[in-house]
Amino acid sequence: MAAKGVNLERFPRVSLCHRPTPLEPLERLSAHLGGPRLFVKRDDCTGLATGGNKTRKLEFLLADALAQGADTVITMGGPQSNHARQTAAAAARLGLKCELVLPRISKWHGPLYDTNGNVLLDRMLGATVHIVENTDEAATRVVEVSDRVREDGGKPYFVPIGGSTALGALGYVDAVVELLRQVDAAGLRIDAMVVTTGSCSTHAGILAGLEALDRPERVIGISIFHPADEAEATVRSRVTETCELMRVTPRRVDERVMVQGEYIGAGYGQPTEAMREAVTLAARLEGLLLDPVYTGKTMSGLVDLVRREFFKPSENVVFWHTGGMPAIFVYEPVFSSIG
């Protein structure tokens, strides 16, 4: 049984997520690239306000908030944060107030960046949105908002950017157990997985789950924010913390952490031509919608790695689709010239 070595029942959890999410072959993209057989794990189908990977993390994080008696959830992210949108949706589902502090962490800024896409959905979901100029101002605003909630008789609960804690990473320990059950049931063999490495807890949760299960699958992270060495250090730290939380002894963390940092381009949230090609390929060959900030750049990394023969032709590779579709609409100028 794939779940041997993983027991998450002692951790409080709320139900927010559609699962299992589908595991689908990318047959036309595989044929087009002429490399390994590609699959996609559809965590864009988790179901909460257009879905995404953060919903799995929020099941554990907001259970903790409720256990502490919180009535207001506060979190941070860029204006087009998928994490912020899913936090707002989860708070609405659970009857909690939500305050989103959104610093401008990307230098790219289209005409609808502050009003459409995820920001529009945040407001529709009932969150109070604070768009600020930088992370220093955001940190100050979080303190101010927390103090105001307390002064009004409420109890705030702060969720870090991306839900990136060991507790949040349990969502992806559970997710990799789910994936491996699907793989085993289908009689498949998965050799490698490719995942976005941003705030790092999705990547870390997958690795922590594989460590707990003593499984050999490789995990390649595609960084969309930090240089590869910084991202790898954060992933290692988060894997260790998550294993400690699960009371699991990690065996091969140092050798297993792998992050590719050459697909960021000019910076977080700034478009690249490779991203644009990858988003277009996924849409036109598979009917699969990716976003410009996270999954689009991750797919551009996967496409390049296949073309560079990083994988053997006989291998099976899973692309983790972590969601993010609403951001496509604020990046319309990037895609408007596509024929």
Match domain 23-52+165-335 to its CATH number in 3.40.50.300, 3.40.1160.10, 3.30.420.140, 3.40.50.1100. 3.40.50.1100
Domain boundaries, the chain: 23-52+165-335, 55-163
Tokens of 158: 């702060």
- Is-contact 163 83, C-beta < 8 A? yes
How confident is the prediction along the chain (339 residues), in pLDDT tens digits per residue? 344 568 899 999 999 999 999 999 999 999 999 989 999 999 999 999 999 999 999 999 999 999 999 999 999 999 999 999 999 999 999 999 999 999 999 999 989 999 999 999 999 999 999 999 999 999 999 999 999 999 999 999 999 999 999 999 999 999 999 999 999 999 999 999 999 999 999 999 999 999 999 999 999 999 999 999 999 999 999 999 999 999 999 888 989 999 999 999 999 999 999 999 999 999 999 999 999 999 999 999 999 999 999 999 999 999 999 999 999 999 999 998 776
For residue 254, give Cα distances in angstroms to 207, 228, 332.
Answer: 11, 14, 40
Rounded to 5 degrees, φ, ψ at 159 are -110, 120
Those residues whose C-beta lies under 8 Å from the C-beta of residue 331, and which sit 6 or more positions away, are: 110, 271, 292
Which letter does DSSP use for residue 163 in this model?
G
Catalytic annotation on 81? yes
Residue 339: predicted pLDDT: 62
Residue 204: predicted pLDDT: 98
Those residues whose C-beta lies under 8 Å from the C-beta of residue 262, and which sit 6 or more positions away, are: 228, 301
Residue 4: predicted pLDDT: 58
Residue 2: predicted pLDDT: 40
3-state DSSP call for residue 129? Answer: strand
- d(Cα 17, Cα 103) in Å, to the nearest integer? 27
The dihedral sign for the CA sequence 205, 199, 147, 72: negative
Shared fold status for 23-52+165-335 and 55-163? yes
- The residue annotated as part of the active site, out of 15, 30, 81, 336, is 81
For the domain spanning 55-163, the CATH number is: 3.40.50.1100
